[in-house]
Amino acid sequence: MPNEIKENAVYTTNEAQNLLKISESTIKRLLKKGILRANKVGGQYRILGKEILRLISPELEKKSEKAYLTVKQKAVDVINKW
């Protein structure tokens, strides 16, 4: 059964590990180094599907980086006007 990673779905570390076909130690390392971004909910990590896709899709990462830089520049512009 094929697993499709849904951009807006929320995954546990175990689910993300299975989707990426990586070991438990590898997913822990990715989380610890901030390579795979996640939020802690009730002491457990939750990972958005778009973060998993970003990890495996350079094209998506470029889009998100461009959006981030645009927002960052707007924030800098606002701060500089003070």
Q: Summarize pLDDT for 30-66 with one digit per residue, the tens.
A: 999 888 999 999 999 999 999 998 888 776 567 667 7
Structure tokens that stand for 52 in this block = 């998993």
Based on its alpha-carbon atoms, the radius of gyration of the chain, rounded to whole angstroms, reads: 15
Distance in angstroms (rounded) separating the CA atoms of residues 10 and 5:
10
Cβ pair 11, 38 in contact under 8 A:
no
Q: List the chain domain ranges.
A: 10-81
pLDDT band at 72 (very low <50, low <70, confident <90, very high): confident
Tell me the average pLDDT across 56-81.
Answer: 80
Q: Supply angle C-alpha 43, 39, 18, rounded to 5.
A: 85
Q: What is the value of pTM for the model shown?
A: 0.65
Cα 65 to Cα 69: distance, rounded to the nearest angstrom: 6
The topology under which CATH files domain 10-81 is Multidrug-efflux Transporter Regulator; Chain: A; Domain 2 (1.10.1660)
